[in-house]
Chain A
């Protein structure tokens, strides 16, 4: 006999939470994102602070661009938390090392060259940009070992037998930058560097990349993420300056970038933080948030078949542990175990209400079934036509959803416990 899990075990239930769950079906994935953000907007209008709302998907990457676009339409700032190790990427290193270069009095040749290595290019660069690593290594090899000021490095570069215009362009630019940046200046300089990276360096990365385009993908995501980080750092830096908690310094900006780049969601430091968290379902584990909006509850999206290379029959055998398979370790990607785990976490996370959305067809018009996950919880199903009311300019709230939301008239003040 085989063990049955998840959808193969129809009697199974997910958790024992009392939180009401409302299901909002819609036609396409894009509309899902719009509905999700309409609900967020409605919650905000009813006085719910942004930190009391979370949007989640089994695979955030799939929904990222539609969610972000929809959020912006509703005047919501989204922050997408996915598994990108931002601190390891060139866009991050570029920003950080520029800050460090601007901040220091004396620097080694490595500190001078690192932003170039990470992809700094000037405005309207020629095809000679970015400077290739072989050239950078050669220069580093010939340079003196001591630390000098950037001005002194400028002079040293003019002594090189090979006139390298590019280095002159770069160093002239470095010297021009303010030493004690305001929040606006700091942000602008870094964002400009990222934009130029995006426009000039990324296409070259793409050309060189292998067919899988792994590197390009990673760097493109990093640019987007880093731009968000820089904007958040600007906001925080401005706050600190206003409160006299710091002087104007590039080092402070660098530190803030680092903490935002490596930060994980959790309690926000300020009650008036304005960004909406969009998280992977796996990251809902152990969390408690009043309102959770889960998108993608369509069979094939959540749960999603992962292409295991192990034949299904063998998976079942290993799950059961019979005979020679007793010591083999089963994988949670099999039998949709992981998908069910994550949905259970999402259900458990919502303390006031869980809103789930699903799309009923692909963009090509192919029908998409409802997720079996929704059969393991008590759900109030809203008809598709009623759900569509949320997208009207005179937003219409389906009854089931209205019951879950706080009253419109009362401005709820959430207790701020820090």
Chain B
């Protein structure tokens, strides 16, 4: 069963929501935002079948036409095995993680692989920042109630969450801050502290290391480069790719959404998203909305 969202296809979205016993008026599904900007790209499709739409694209090819982004290692393996089991050639597929594609684009642009930082690498760096910068340490202390040096895991969690939600994009940071400031009481204050502290710690983290501070940051950087080259960089590195697929994701982070946005804006590729059982309804509704942002991939920090 394949569902494709083409433009504002109310009936298809309606179907996915009535699965949850909920009947909604179409206008509340796509509320117009403050500036009246809403884009749903017709080259964006959603799938919830058993991978057959993807696997049908297999064929003998000189170069791959399908770029399949599957962030989870095991999911990539599953796809490979399905191809083998069904005796389908793998030539038309290129199977990888979003960060790998981003790194390849950046290497083409800069000549070097971008050095990334994993969680394991970040923890000691975050500890150093907390020790050196009492103000940001103080903000985290307000949030967690414990000395942040003892709770560097929590600080890392906070950082990861805010990065996933905002990608440190100026407009997203504003949206986050607006909600917090409109709320009276501790929730708003906590939200505000969370935002301020994590943005500040990221700023300091970037001073602690020359490496890119996260995989998401690599993806955003690649997004900016693709946009900056008006798609030329993508054409250069992935000239034969017709379709980009995202598989196995329950969350589409701000950074990944912006990257897909960059591709949709500056190249001819179609984007296909395999959605999962319950998060699927969220992604179908929210991703098209998120594509309306201006300057995808931007950050509130100074460019490196």
Contacts and interface: CB of A to CB of B under 8 A. Distances in A.
A329 B187 contact: no
B211 to A, nearest CB: 16
Which of B169, B176, B252 lies at the interface centre, i.e. has the most chain A CB atoms within 10 A of its CB? B176
B22 A9 contact: yes
Interface residues of B, number: 73
A324 B85 CA distance: 47
A321 B175 CA distance: 11
A337 interface: yes
A319 interface: yes
A275 interface: no
B187 A3 contact: no
Contacts of A319: 282, 286
A214 B176 contact: no
A341 B187 contact: no
B28 interface: yes
Interface stretch (A174-182, A198-206, A283-291): A283-291
Contacts of A267: 81, 84-85
A329 B28 contact: no
Contacts, number: 185
B164 interface: yes
Contact of A285 (B78, B190, B191, B194): B78
A281 B257 CA distance: 25
Nearest to A324: B175
A308 B19 CA distance: 27
Interface of A: 1, 3-6, 9-15, 81, 88, 210-212, 214, 218, 264-267, 279, 282-283, 285-287, 307-311, 313-314, 317-319, 321-333, 336-338, 340-341, 344-345, 348, 417
26 contacts: A3-B281, A5-B20, A10-B21, A11-B21, A14-B278, A212-B153, A264-B73, A265-B74, A266-B80, A267-B84, A282-B72, A283-B75, A286-B50, A286-B78, A286-B248, A310-B194, A319-B286, A321-B286, A328-B172, A329-B165, A329-B252, A330-B165, A337-B282, A338-B250, A341-B250, A345-B277
Interface of B: 17, 19-22, 24, 28, 31, 33-34, 50-51, 72-75, 77-82, 84-85, 120, 123, 127, 143, 150-154, 157-158, 161, 164-167, 169, 171-172, 174-176, 178-180, 183, 187, 190-191, 194, 248, 250-254, 257, 276-279, 281-282, 285-286, 289-290, 292-293
Given A309-B157, A326-B175, A329-B165, 15 more contacts: A5-B281, A9-B20, A214-B153, A266-B78, A267-B81, A283-B72, A286-B51, A286-B75, A309-B161, A313-B187, A321-B285, A326-B290, A326-B292, A329-B167, A337-B282
